[in-house]
Amino acid sequence: MDYAKESLRLHGEWKGKIEVVTRVPAENKDDLSLAYTPGVAQPCLEIQKDVNKSYDLTRRWNMCLVVTDGSAILGLGNIGPEAGMPVMEGKCALFKAFGDVDAFPLCIKSNDVDEIVNTIYLISGSFGGVNLEDISAPRCFEIEKKLKEKCDIPIFHDDQHGTAIVVSAGLTNALRLVGKKFSEAKVVINGAGSAGISICKLLLELGIGDVVMVDRKGILAPGEEWMNPAQKEIAEKTNKEQLHGDLKAAMKGRDIFVGVSAPNIVTAEMVSTMADDAIVFAMANPTPEIMPDEARKGGARVIATGRSDFPNQINNVLVFPGVFRGAFDVRASDINEEMKIAAAKAIAELISDEELSEDNIIPKAFDKRVGPAVAKQLQKQQERPVWLGSRIVRVRSTEQSICILVKK
């Protein structure tokens, strides 16, 4: 099928992929008086007294804002906010289909960090969380940081954290398959933008052995003048052997290659210089850094891409619906590192030892178990054991209250 041609035709027919549907009847005078004036004044007054009632008396508890400035749409670059709308609508449709989250697109006509932050902050009271999407690096780091400081709802940049979570889940199972320890594995990540740096950070949190990051100008290492601030920061935490050079040099002896970069930049010969039982995650879309058959020629044992027409698709749809579902269900005010680790663990554990193989290290995108499993794991993570006198209890915290569950 010619997906580009057929998708364009269907978009013309659909005239949008999402719509607003009422949850209440509007058939008579009483219906109108209860859903709208005069009855609606009472919930307004309750929220005025306690703004947190907005979660109980409106749909805010389940509403996610999906935001872009159009600066990094797919692999198309800065094509503008209006041109990014089809992607944002698609994201909203996936939120509903896989997490039962009500999501709404917002395409902002500005690339200015403070304008974007202020715009989102001013309307944040209408939403339970914010998903940042397709915003170019390094501005995306600053936008997320400032929003987390200003807002009291979860802020999640899916291009960073969604990718990091699903990659970590896949690598956990790939290493399990080849019999290598996470703490001893050596990784090379090609592409030191938002996704690559976030993948690196989460792998370090999980205790990976060593990571070398590579960008267009070479290996990230302290002292390299061409690095941006985010790259300089991650360079201080990686590259234990202080390597310098290009991607070819960085891949030698590595157990794992992770690509979030550009098409056809890795050869079978380069893969052949990696360690035995090499793992190759070539995720550039639509054309990966190396095609699976070429990676196999180079000796790779486990191969994953971002495409649905090859085994082991690394797809963020395994992450963001369940992450927001879980965060919304416990009314979390943040999606922290522990929650990201919990999400990666939940996805990885869905592949049993019996199911695990070179072509099956990660659940399929349409696996209905994934969203609920991720949400449940995030909810469990929000409960933590503490001592209370002589008894062990579990504390579940939300922004509104602390619930103490006593184990008798």
Catalytic center residues = 36, 91
The three-point CA angle 290-295-299 to 5° equals: 155
- Bridge partners of residue 280, in order along the sequence: 257, 303
Separation of alpha carbons 64 and 57, rounded Å: 16
Cβ neighbors of 139 (< 8 A, separation 6 or more) are 71, 111, 113
Q: Of all helices (H) and strands (E), which one includes residue 88?
A: helix 85-99
Q: How many residues does the chain have?
A: 408
- Bridge partners of residue 92, in order along the sequence: none
**Other residues' Cβ atoms within 10 Å of the Cβ of residue 78:** 15
Judge contact between 103 and 64, C-beta under 8 A: yes
361 vs 206, 227, 298, 299, CA distance in Å?
18, 34, 20, 18
Residue 46 in tokens:
């309750």
Separation of alpha carbons 192 and 199, rounded Å: 10
> Angle 85-99/370-381 helices, nearest 10 degrees?
80
Separation of alpha carbons 119 and 109, rounded Å: 10
Strand 186-190 vs strand 302-305: parallel, antiparallel, or unpaired? unpaired
Cβ neighbors of 237 (< 8 A, separation 6 or more) are 200, 204
Q: What is residue 113's three-state secondary structure?
A: helix
**Other residues' Cβ atoms within 10 Å of the Cβ of residue 274:** 23
Among 300, 384, 313, smallest CA distance to 347 is for 313
Judge contact between 212 and 219, C-beta under 8 A: yes
Residue 320 in tokens:
């963001």
What is the phi/psi pair of residue 259, to 5°?
-115, 125
Count the alpha carbons within 13 Å of 107 in the hemisphere toward its beta carbon.
19
Task: Taking the CA atoms of 87, 93, 97 and 103 in sequence, report the sign of the dihedral they define.
Answer: positive
